[in-house]
C-alpha cells in the first residue's frame, strides 16, 4: 500500500506538556501508552513528557516507571502534585480517591485528566466540577477519561448523528457485557467493595455506556427505571493482592458490597426510549460493549469487540437495496485514522488512550474546554445515582437531577 | 448428498384430522401451509385434512380456499364450528375475537389451535383456559400458536438448557425489533387499534418474546418494570383496507391507541435478570427477534433473522480455546430436521407452522396435553398485563399475578 | 405485520399441468414439495398436478407416492412416460440415466425438467440439447434444474449485475464446501462411483457453482486450469443401501472412482479472473456455497448457508461511509418474495424448488424457452469437461469448447 | 477488570540493542512503533534503542527521525551501516534494494531484519540466505519481516495445528484482497513498476499469504498452477510523489509492469490442495487476508480485518453440538496477550511489529536462529517464481524448486 505515514512536523522544538500520573495498574499502563505514543503519531502542538508516576509501593512504582518510561517515581500523590515538572495530573486510581487528588491538583494549578467514573458520589463530582470550572478561569483544563468516545468508529457515529443521518431518535439500546465474575471463587478485589469502587458493574461498565449513549445521541437521559443484582454475595478474600493504590491482605471470605449487574430503561429528553445492561456475569462475553441507535431516517450499531467497524443502515434508501452496512472505520477520512495505517489495517483498544492524549493536548494548547468535561462526568454520575435510587425504590421511574 | 427423505409410512390409511380455519390473511396463509405440508414431510399418526376456511368476505374467502387448498369456505365462524367435517378449529383472527370463537369451538367439542396472543385481556384468557381444561377432560385439546418454539434452533436451545448446559441462569436479554411503522404515513390498520389488537408491539411482538424467553429459560418471570411509548400518535386512515376479518374504510387521520414500543426489565423466579424490548420503530431491523441466555456454565444466543443458527458458548472449556460457536441447526439429530434436508440446507419461517401442525397432530393422536397450552398463553397474558400496569404506574416493579 | 398473502386468483379453473417424476430420493422429495406448493403460493397460469411417480422398488415408490402426494406409482420409467396423464417428465435420478430418460420423454412429446448435472458426459448433453431444441419447435419445453438460480438473493444479485451495478467485472470467486466425506468410513455410495455419478464433487457441487457463477456474471468462462484430488481412495461398500434408482448390496471395500475435491481457476470471456473450489472434505462446512463478484463499481457476495442475505458494496459511494451491506432479501419487491412472508421472515432451501416449478409453469404457459435451458446445461458440462481435461494434463489452461 | 499490567522487571539495566533503520515510509513508521514500544510492554532481555534512521531526502528523514523518535538521521545507508551505535539494520525499503543493503549489513557484522518480500528475485534471495547462514556462524541473526505470523490469532492457529487439532490436512484456501487500484486514475507508484517492486499483488500480498499458509500448515507447497492479470495497463504518472527511497516526478501516463492480481492453486507436500488469490481489485475489500485450513479432525479460519478472532471447528465433537466457534484471541494464555489488556480488549495491526521486535530481541539475546529466516524468505520467493513461471507457461503445474 502506498501510504507514507511521516509528516513534515518534528516534535523537538515544541513546548512540552509535562505529565504526572497517579496509579500504575491497568489504567496506568494504558495511559502511559497514550502519553508515550500520541506525539509520535500525531502532529501535536505540545510535546508530552512523562515526568513522574506515583504509587504507594516504592519498589513497584519504581519498576512501573522504568517499564512505562516515566522519568521519576513518587510514593505520595501530594508530592507528585507539588512537582515543578508536572503541568498535568493524570488520575488513574480507584474512584474513592479521585475527588481528593483532583481537587488538590486543580488547587495547585495543574491541568487534570481523571479516569472514569469521575467520583464515587454525586457530591464529590459536584465539588470537582465546581473546582474545574473555577480553574478554567485560571487557564487550567480538566477532562474525564471516557476513552470510548475516542474509538474512530464511535467518533464517526457521533458525526453521523450530528449530520442528521438518523433523524428523530427513537431507540438507544446498550449492553456492556463481561464475564469475569462468573466463577464464584473469583476473589473479592477492590472493584467489589463499595467503599473503594463506589459501585460495581454500574460504575465500571454502566458509566462508560451512559456516557457513550448520551454522547452519541447528542442528548441527555431524562429519567431511568432500574434493577440491580448481586448474584454472588460472598467471595474469597484475595491473598496479598495489590491493585494500584489499594492493597488487601487477608483470608476467608468477605461480603460483595457492589452490584454484579444492572439493567435499566430510560427516556431521553427527546422522548427516545433507552435500555441499558451492564454485567460481569455474561458468560462468554468478554468486553461486549454494544450500542445501537435507531432514528426515523437510519440506524447505527457498534460493538467494542469489533471496534474497527461501524454498522449503518440508511433508511432513506429503498429497502430493496438497503441493509446494515459494515463500515470499516480505517479510511484516511475517518476520525484519527489519517495518522495511522492504510485502509483495513485496524487499531486496538489502547489507541483510545492515544487519541485521548492527543485531544487533550490540543485542547490545552488551544485553551478550549476539553470534552468530556468534569460537568459531563458529573451528569453521568447523576444518572448512575438515579439508577441506584430507582433500584432501591422498587424500580420506580426516577428523573435525573439537573 | 446421500440422504433419502422418504420413509416407509404412507399417509393414506391413517385416520384424518379435519381442520376448519377462521381467518385467511397472513396467519391464515401460514397455517394453511402448515396443515397442507406437515403430513407430506413428517410421519404423522393422523392425516390433516383442510376441510373448511372461514372469513366474512365471501368472494375473498372463496379465493383463499382455492388458493390455499381448503375444500369449503364459510362466511360465519359459527357455521364453521358447526360443521361435521371439522375436528379442530384453527383461529387466525385478530385477538379481539379469539375468546368468543375458542369458547364456542370448545363447547362444540372441537380441538382448538389459537393464534397468539391468546386473548386481548387476562379475563378472556382465564375463561379460555378454564374452558380448555374442562374440555381436556372430554378429550379435546387446545394449543396456543407460539410458533417460535418450533424453530429447530430454539427447540435445540430448550433441550440444551434442560440438559443443564447453562447451569444457574443469570441473564436473559431479548429484543424483537421491526421497523414497519417508522414512516408516519403508514396507515392506521387494525393492529394499531386497541379495540381490535389489544395492544401494539407489546401484544404482537412482546407476547412472542415473553413466551420464548420463559420457554427457553424453563421458568417464569416473577415481576417486571416497564416503559411503553407511542411515537406517532396520529396516522392516516386506510382506504378500503381489509385484513382478514376486519375491514376499515375511511379517510383522514385517526388516533393510534396502542403502544409503538415497549422496553421492560424483570426478574425470573430464580433471580435471573431479564430485559425485553419490542418495537416497530427500529429502522433497518426487519424481524430481529434476538434472545440470549447467560448461565453460570454457558450461554446461548439466537437471532430469528438467521433462524438456522444457534450460538453456544461452553463455559466449561478453557477460555483459551473457547468461543461462541455457530451451530448450524440442520443436522439430522436436531429437532424436526430428520424429516427435511441434508446438513446446511436451511429451513425458513413457515416451517415453524409445519412443525406446529406436526406437534399438535401427535398430541391429539396421543391424547396428551399440547404445549404451549392455553394456560401458558394465559400466563404470558398476565406478564403483558403486568407490563402495562407497570408502564401506567411510573414503571414500578410489578409482580406477575399467579 | 400487515401483509395479507391471499390474492384474487383461484386455482381451480386453470388448465392442469400434469407431472410425472422419476426418482424419489432427496431430489424427489424436494421436487415434490415444489410441485405441490407452487400453485398454493404463486398465482400460476396452470395448475400443477402430481400425476405419477416412478422408481424401481415397487413398495418404496408406492410409499413415496403416498407420502409426497402423487396420485400413481410406476416402476418402469418408460411406462411413466407413456402415461396420458403426464404432460411433463421430471427427472430426479442419478446422472447416468438422465440422457436416456430425457430423450425418450422428449420423443414422447413431453416437457422435461432434468436435474443437474444435465448428463454425465458432454456427448449425452449434446444429444439432449439437440433433442430439446427440436422439441421446442413442437411446443415442448426442457429445463435443467440449477435451482440455486431461484434463491431470491441470487436472483436479486443477477438483476443488480444486469443493472450495471458492478461495472466491468474483475473477479469471481466461488467455493462450494461440504464435509460429509471427511470420515474415511463413510460408505461407497452411488455418488462416489464414476459409472453412476459421472464425477464427484466436480459434477455435484462444481456444476452448481459453474452455472451460478456464469449466470450471475452474465457471461461464460473462456478457459480453466484445474487440480482434482481423491483423498480417500478405498471406502467400505454400503450394505443394502438404496438411493433412488440405484441399489448396491455388498460388503468389503471398493474403489472411489470420482474426485473428492476440485480446485480450478479460469478466465471469463471479458477477462475477469475466476477461482473455484468444490469439495466434500471441508470439515465443518455443511453447504457453504459462497460466491463473490468484484467489479469496477461494486461487489456482491452470497453464502448459501445464509440464503436470505446478499452482501453488496457500492463502490460509487465515498469509502468513508461505504461498506458491505447485508441486504435481507425478504422485501416484497425482491424476486419471488411478494408471494411469501413479511420482511425478515426468511425462506429456506426447498423454496428454490417451488420457485423453479413456478418459473417452469410460466414458461410452459407462455411458450417461451425456459432458462437454464439444456443448452445452458450442456455449456456447464463443457466447462466440467475442460476442468477434467486440465486436471489430467498437468493443469494446463484449457479453453472451453464452444 | 482486575489485571495489573506492570511486572517487576525494569528496563533500565539491560544491555541495549541499537537499531538503525533504512526507509521511513509506511513500513518505517510501523517498525518504529515496534522498536519503540516492545520494551515498554514486554519484559525483554535487551533494551531496543532507536539509534539512527536513513533516507535519501535529508529534510524528510530528519523530520521522520524526530517524529518517530530516532536519535540520528542519515541519508546514505552505507553510512548507517557503518555506525558504531548500530547493532541491527532494519531494512524497510522497496524490494529492489533489499539484497544490496542486507548483504552489506551482514558483511559489516550487523544483525538484519528485512521487510518482505526478501528480494525481488530468487537469485538475490539465494545470495542473502547464504550470507545470513554464514553470518549466523559469526553470531549474527537475520530475519525476514512476515509480520502476520505475529498476530495472536495466527500464532494461536499455528499452535493448534502443531497440537494436531486438524489432523491430516486436506485444504488450505487463502485470499488477500485489497481494492486500492480499482480506480484507473490511481497513479503509477513504485509498487506498480517491476524494476522497483519486483512484482505486483503477487509479491506484495501473495508473499504474505504464501508464507502464512505454509507457516500455519507446517509444511511447504510442492507445486502451483497460476493465472495472473494486469487489468489496467496504463496509469497516470505521479507528480512529485515520494515514497521512502524512491521518488518519481513526471506527467503523462506510464506502463504498469506488474500484475494486478494473481490466482493460483497448488499442492502441499502432504497432498493437501491449496488455492490462493491476491488482488488489488476486489472492490470493497480493504485488507481481507483470509485463510482457512480444513483437516480431517477440524478446521481453522482467520480474517485479518477481524484480527482478534480465530474461528475453530472441532470435528471430534458431535455435529449436533458443533460449529465454528469464534475464539476472541485476547485471553492472557494466548500468544503475546499476557503483556497487553484484559480479555476482549483487542489489539491492532501495528502490534504485529511490536511482537516482531519482541521475538527478534529474544532470538538475538539467546543466540538462536529467528524465524522466519532468510531461508524461509527464499523459499517463499521460489514459490512466487513458480507462480510467475506457471502463469507464463499457460498455467501448467510447476513444481517449487528446492
Q: Per the CB < 8 Å rule, is C173 touching D173?
A: no
Q: Please report the pLDDT score of residue A240 as a whole number.
A: 60
Q: Does A153 touch chain C (CB under 8 A)?
A: no
User: What's the CA gap between B72 and B88, in Å, rounded?
Assistant: 15
Closest chain B C-alpha to A226 CA, distance in angstroms: 8
Q: Which of A231, A281, A298 sits opposite B283 (nearest CB)?
A: A298
Q: Per the CB < 8 Å rule, is C294 touching D179?
A: yes
Judged by average pLDDT, the poorest of B23-37, B245-259, D289-303 is B245-259
CATH architecture assigned to C149-358+371-399:
2-Layer Sandwich (3.30)
Q: Which of B160, B310, B322 sits opposite D327 (nearest CB)?
A: B322
Return residues 161-220 of B near D (CB < 8 Å). Answer: none
The mean pLDDT of chain C is: 93
Tens digit of each residue's pLDDT (9 = 90 or more) over B56-80: 999 999 999 999 999 999 999 999 9
Please tell me the pTM assigned to this model.
Answer: 0.95
pLDDT band (50, 70, 90) for residue B12: low
Q: Per the CB < 8 Å rule, is B69 touching C40?
A: yes
For residue A305, give the chain D residue with the closest CA: D344
Q: Does A350 touch chain D (CB under 8 A)?
A: yes
Q: Does A138 touch chain C (CB under 8 A)?
A: no
pLDDT at C402 over 90: no
Q: Which residues of A are less than 8 Å from C160 in CB distance?
A: 321
pLDDT band (50, 70, 90) for residue C239: confident
B16-147: what CATH class? alpha beta
Q: Does C327 touch chain A (CB under 8 A)?
A: yes
The CATH superfamily of B150-399 is Dihydrodipicolinate Reductase; domain 2 (3.30.360.10)
Neighbours of C162 (CB within 10 A): 11
The domain spans of chain D are 16-147, 149-359+372-399
pLDDT at C386 over 60: yes
Q: Per the CB < 8 Å rule, is C227 touching D267?
A: yes
Q: Please report the pLDDT score of residue D240 as a whole number.
A: 60
Closest chain B C-alpha to A27 CA, distance in angstroms: 24
Share of chain A above pLDDT 70, in %: 94
Assigned fold of A150-346+374-399? Dihydrodipicolinate Reductase; domain 2 (3.30.360)
Q: Which residues of A are less than 8 Å from B264 in CB distance?
A: 265
Q: Per the CB < 8 Å rule, is B2 touching C191?
A: yes
pLDDT at A4 over 90: no
pLDDT band (50, 70, 90) for residue C253: very high
Tens digit of each residue's pLDDT (9 = 90 or more) over C128-165: 999 999 999 999 999 999 999 999 999 999 999 999 99
Mutate to test the interface with D, among B3, B301, B325 (most CBs of D within 10 A): B325
Q: Does C277 touch chain D (CB under 8 A)?
A: yes
pLDDT at B97 over 50: yes
Q: Please report the pLDDT score of residue C241 as a whole number.
A: 47
* Bond prior to B143 in cis (omega within 30° of 0): no
Q: Does A326 touch chain D (CB under 8 A)?
A: no
Q: Please report the pLDDT score of residue A12 as a whole number.
A: 56
Mutate to test the interface with D, among C166, C176, C225, C282 (most CBs of D within 10 A): C225
Interchain CB contacts (distance < 8 Å): B and D: 48
Q: Which of A318, A322, A325 sits opposite C324 (nearest CB)?
A: A325
Tens digit of each residue's pLDDT (9 = 90 or more) over D197-230: 889 999 999 999 999 999 999 999 999 999 999 9
CATH architecture assigned to D149-359+372-399:
2-Layer Sandwich (3.30)
pLDDT at C3 over 80: no
Give chain A as a 3 state SS string. CCCCCCCCCCCCCCCEEEEEEECCCHHHHHHHHHHHHHHHHCCCCCEEEEEEEECCCHHHHHHHHHHHCCCEEECCHHHHHHCCCCCEEEECCCHHHHHHHHHHHHHCCCEEEEECCCCCCHHHHHHHHHHHHHHHHCCCCEEEECHHHHCHHHHHHHHHHHCCCCCCEEEEEEEEECCCCCCCCCCCCHHHCHHHHCCCHHHHHHHHHHHHHHHHHCCCEEEEEEEEECCCCEEECCCCEEECCEEECCCCEEECCCCCEEEEEEEECCCCEEEEEEECCCCCCCCEEEEEEEECCEEEEEEHHHCCEEEEEECCCCCCCCCEEEEECCCCCCCCHHHCCCCCCCCCCCHHHHHHHHHHHHHHHHCCCCCCCHHHHHHHHHHHHHHHHHHHCCCCCEECCC
The string over A320-337, giving b where at least 16 C-beta atoms fall within 10 Å of a residue's C-beta and e elsewhere, is ebbbbbbbbbbbeebbbb
The mean pLDDT of chain B is: 93
Q: Which residues of B are less than 8 Å from C282 in CB distance?
A: none
pLDDT at A388 over 90: yes
For residue D25, give the chain A residue with the closest CA: A4
Q: Please report the pLDDT score of residue C240 as a whole number.
A: 60
Length of chain C: 402
pLDDT band (50, 70, 90) for residue D238: confident
pLDDT at D13 over 60: yes
pLDDT at B247 over 70: no
Mutate to test the interface with A, among C321, C334, C336 (most CBs of A within 10 A): C321
Q: Please report the pLDDT score of residue D250 as a whole number.
A: 54
Amino acid at each position: 500500500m502506498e501510504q507514507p505515514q511521516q509528516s513534515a512536523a518534528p516534535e523537538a522544538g515544541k513546548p512540552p506538556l509535562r505529565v504526572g500520573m497517579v496509579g500504575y495498574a491497568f489504567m496506568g499502563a494504558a495511559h502511559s501508552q497514550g502519553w508515550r505514543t500520541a506525539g509520535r503519531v500525531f502532529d501535536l502542538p505540545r510535546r508530552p513528557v512523562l515526568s513522574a508516576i506515583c504509587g504507594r509501593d516504592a519498589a513497584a512504582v519504581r519498576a512501573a516507571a522504568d517499564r512505562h518510561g516515566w522519568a521519576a517515581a513518587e510514593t505520595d500523590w501530594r508530592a507528585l502534585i507539588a512537582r515543578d515538572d508536572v503541568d498535568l495530573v493524570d488520575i488513574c486510581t480507584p474512584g474513592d480517591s479521585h475527588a481528593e487528588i483532583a481537587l488538590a491538583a486543580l488547587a495547585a494549578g495543574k491541568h487534570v485528566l481523571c479516569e472514569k467514573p469521575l467520583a464515587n458520589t454525586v457530591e464529590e463530582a459536584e465539588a470537582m466540577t465546581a473546582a474545574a470550572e473555577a480553574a478554567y478561569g485560571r487557564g487550567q483544563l480538566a477532562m474525564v477519561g471516557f476513552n470510548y468516545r475516542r474509538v474512530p468508529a464511535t467518533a464517526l457515529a457521533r458525526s453521523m448523528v450530528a449530520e442528521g443521518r438518523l433523524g428523530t431518535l427513537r431507540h438507544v439500546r446498550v449492553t456492556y457485557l463481561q464475564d469475569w465474575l462468573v466463577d464464584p471463587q473469583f476473589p473479592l478485589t477492590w472493584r467489589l467493595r463499595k467503599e473503594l469502587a463506589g459501585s460495581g458493574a454500574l460504575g465500571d461498565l454502566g458509566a462508560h455506556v451512559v456516557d457513550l449513549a448520551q454522547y452519541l445521541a447528542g442528548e441527555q437521559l431524562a429519567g431511568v427505571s432500574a434493577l440491580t443484582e448481586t448474584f454472588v454475595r460472598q467471595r474469597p478474600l484475595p491473598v496479598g493482592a495489590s491493585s494500584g493504590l489499594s492493597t488487601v491482605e487477608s483470608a476467608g471470605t468477605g461480603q460483595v458490597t457492589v452490584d454484579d449487574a444492572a439493567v435499566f430503561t430510560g427516556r431521553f429528553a427527546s422522548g427516545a426510549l433507552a435500555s441499558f445492561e451492564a454485567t460481569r456475569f455474561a458468560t462468554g462475553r468478554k468486553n461486549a460493549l454494544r450500542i445501537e441507535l435507531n432514528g426515523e431516517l437510519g440506524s447505527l450499531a457498534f460493538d467494542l469487540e469489533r471496534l474497527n467497524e461501524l454498522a449503518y443502515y440508511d433508511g432513506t434508501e429503498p429497502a430493496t437495496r438497503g441493509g446494515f452496512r459494515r463500515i470499516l472505520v480505517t479510511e484516511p477520512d475517518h476520525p484519527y485514522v489519517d495518522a495511522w495505517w492504510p485502509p483495513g489495517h485496524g487499531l486496538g483498544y489502547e489507541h483510545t488512550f492515544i487519541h485521548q492524549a492527543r485531544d487533550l493536548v490540543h485542547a490545552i494548547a488551544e485553551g478550549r474546554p476539553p470534552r468530556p468535561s468534569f460537568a459531563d462526568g458529573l451528569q453521568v454520575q447523576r444518572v448512575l445515582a438515579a439508577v441506584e435510587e430507582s433500584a432501591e425504590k422498587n424500580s420506580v421511574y426516577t428523573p435525573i437531577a439537573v
